[in-house]
């Protein structure tokens, strides 16, 4: 007959007893009754000379140490990978932002150039259309100020139909007035 209790294995820390008789965790754990304190009751009657057994110890099955180590390694690996990725993203973002910043600088410079060009063109338009320049240019082309002119005045109300005769009469009057004025030019 094999006493299962004799096969107890020491725990991982070398102790063989159990603390307070608590139940161990896990499906493989076995519950043992607390060791009896009276040697007479526990000693077999057929082997009187046999020395008394040491008090039975309560043992637990120790958890697998390799199991936690793998998780930690996994977590560390994930952390490192995440850090690397983050660093990469940050660096990449910085690079992109730097590029964008220089691009922004370039666009700003273009904007300034365009604004300057616009202002210069506007100034040029103003210069070309200034009365003094137009007069000078006209004179260069051989034009002279008009010395003879007349006036055409409307004779009717605004809603009156334009009468050909009235227009002709007005023009005739104006022409006569102009001729008279020419004759009497001071």
The answer to whether the beta carbons of residues 156 and 138 sit under 8 Å apart is no
CA distances from 18 to 3, 5, 82, 119 (A): 18, 13, 43, 94
The residue among 94 and 163 lying less far from another protein, judged by its C-beta, is: 94
**Options 10-18, 49-57, 80-88, 145-153: segment touching another protein (CB under 8 A):** 145-153
Q: Which of 40, 67, 153, 157 binds another protein (CB under 8 A)?
A: 153
Q: Which of 51, 66, 129, 165 binds another protein (CB under 8 A)?
A: 129
Burial class of 18 by CB neighbour count within 10 A (0 to 12, 13 to 18, 19+): buried
Q: Could you say which DSSP state residue 5 is in?
A: G
Q: Which of 112, 138, 143, 156 binds another protein (CB under 8 A)?
A: 112
| Whole-angstrom distance, CA of residue 173 vs CA of residue 167 | 10
Q: Where are the alpha helices (DSSP H) in the chain?
A: 39-42, 65-128, 131-140, 164-183
Q: Which of 15, 70, 116, 172 binds another protein (CB under 8 A)?
A: 116
| Whole-angstrom distance, CA of residue 12 vs CA of residue 15 | 7
Taking the complex as a whole, the smallest distance from the CB of residue 159 to another protein amounts, in Å, to: 19
**Options 19-27, 33-41, 58-66, 111-119: segment touching another protein (CB under 8 A):** 111-119
Q: Would you tell me which residues interact with another protein (CB under 8 A)? A: 94, 97-98, 100-102, 105, 112, 115-116, 119-120, 122-123, 126-127, 129-132, 135, 145, 151, 153, 173, 177, 180-181, 184-186
């Amino acid at each position: 007959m094999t006493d299962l209790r004799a096969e107890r294995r020491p725990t991982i820390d070398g102790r063989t007893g159990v603390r307070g008789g608590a139940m161990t965790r896990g499906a493989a754990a076995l519950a043992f009754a607390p060791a009896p304190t009276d040697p007479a009751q526990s000693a077999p009657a057929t082997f009187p000379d046999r020395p008394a057994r040491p008090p039975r110890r309560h043992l637990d099955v120790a958890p697998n140490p390799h199991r936690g180590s793998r998780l930690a390694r996994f977590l560390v690996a994930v952390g490192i990978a995440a850090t690397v990725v983050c660093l990469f993203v940050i660096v990449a973002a910085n690079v992109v932002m730097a590029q964008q910043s220089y691009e922004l600088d370039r666009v700003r410079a273009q904007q300034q150039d365009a604004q300057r060009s616009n202002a210069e063109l506007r100034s040029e338009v103003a210069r070309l259309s200034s009365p003094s320049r137009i007069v000078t240019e006209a004179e260069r082309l051989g034009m002279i100020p008009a010395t003879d002119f007349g006036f055409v005045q409307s004779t009717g109300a605004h809603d009156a139909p334009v009468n050909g005769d009235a227009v002709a009469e007005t023009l005739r009057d104006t022409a006569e007035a102009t001729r008279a004025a020419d004759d009497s030019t001071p």
